[in-house]
A = this chain, B = another copy of it.
Amino acid sequence: MRSETPREKQQRHRRRGPDADGSASYHRGDAGANGRELVLGLSSGTSMDGIDAALVDFGEGEAGGIDLLAFRMQEYPQALRSALASCCRGGDCADVARLDVAIGEAFAAAALDLLASAGREPADVCCIGSHGQTLIHLPQAEEIGGMRVSATLQIGELSVIAERTGITTVGDFRTRDMAAGGQGAPLVPILDHEMLTHPERGRVALNLGGIANVTGLPAGGSLADLLAFDTGPANVLLDAAARRHQLEGGIDEGGALAMTGAPDPELLETLMTHPFFERRPPKSADLRIVSGDYAERCWEEAADLSTADLLRTLAELTARTVADGIDRYISPRQAIDEIVVSGGGAHNAAVMSAVRTHLPDARVLTVDQVSSIPGDAKEAVLFAYLGHLALAGRCGNVPSATGAERAAVLGKIVPGW
């Protein structure tokens, strides 16, 4: 009798689908015993929709030693989401301070919920790695108080997470890279390298979160060979359009409506004029790319378009700026056999179809097809990985990706009980 492969075993234990409370979850029943190093990763993206929580084993798993034991996405309560939006629009110091604690409480609850659903105790976990919630990302230096500084602000108080869970908590990863002269983003390349570098195939990892980013992974390449950067908006514009047009659930599920529309060439040309797209890497996108005049102009010019045509245009914008970035900066450096897609945008048929059209020479796959880590879980796995690296005293940023002067241990460490 043929014995079960690890991959088959994992699939047998996998259970996916919406829970009773509407949150999506994934966990394995046989989550191991000794000799493992369990780390819990927490993240929330620029879309501010909720918290991804992943329980990861860095001890002896597959996928470059990374094994996902459980994953869960928990939506923010509406009141918290509204408070976040209003803080970004013009909150003051008191709002920032209080939301930092409130988001910390929500992150801590998400961590404890994940552990409970996976049948684990906090004592089983080595550390939590938490990205927090970005309020603002300002990688371009600007003047304040007589100095020119770049800055970024992730909230979700680490002390609250450590105190509620008792688990040593590492987070606020972007500030150190920026202090070392980097853009503080993208941080995913170190995980892309670990998970997705292939001995013979040249790959590009494409993450379609609120913002889209790409990592070039030459076949058998080392960390020093990486080039990675943000290419521009992805779901953040698509979701904003869906909310403006009051689609059910505030989202065009699977890109179904977009697939019935056609891209509008004029709007597309207007949107393609954003100076961010012309900038050379290293570059990281800032939510203001869609919160200011740019988005306003988009909604104005789209006033006569159907919702479907608007959504299809934004899907096309995402794919074209991704393809432009890859063609200009990655193709000259490496062969590209495969594009490996993760993030919410991987579920959007209109975006995926446009990506395939604009990158005809590569196979476009989702990360689930080439690794045991589902694409939706990748961000949370990343922050678990960065927590794991920090506690081991290992560097987390890739200078060729962020533009930092040196690799650094990222994050602030808050002891558990």
Contacts and interface: CB of A to CB of B under 8 A. Distances in A.
A172 B162 CA distance: 14
Interface in A49-107: 77, 79-84, 87-88, 90-102, 104-105
Nearest to A174: B159
A415 B99 CA distance: 26
Contact of A93 (B77, B81, B87): B87
A199 interface: no
Interface string A149-182: 1111100011110111000000010011011100
Given A87-B93, A175-B157, A149 B412 contact: no
A415 to B, nearest CB: 5
Contacts of A151: 94, 97-98, 100-101
Contact of A92 (B81, B90, B409, B412): B90
A145 B413 contact: no
Contacts of A179: 101, 104, 157, 159-160, 162-164
Contact of A135 (B88, B97, B162, B409): B97
B176 A99 contact: no
A390 interface: yes
A175 B84 CA distance: 20
A119 interface: no
A160 B411 CA distance: 12
A266 B100 CA distance: 42
A414 interface: yes
A10 B144 CA distance: 41
A305 interface: no
Interface string A297-323: 000000000000000000000000000
Contacts of A105: 147, 149
Interface residues of A, number: 60
A265 interface: no
Contacts of A295: none
B153 A100 contact: yes
A362 interface: no
A82 B83 CA distance: 28
A160 B147 CA distance: 14
Interface in A301-357: none
Nearest to A179: B163
A138 interface: yes
A159 B412 contact: yes
A142 interface: yes
A149 B96 contact: no
B149 A102 contact: yes
- Which 8 A-B pairs give the minimum distances between C-beta atoms? A79-B146, A83-B145, A163-B179, A80-B145, A97-B153, A412-B412, A97-B151, A159-B175
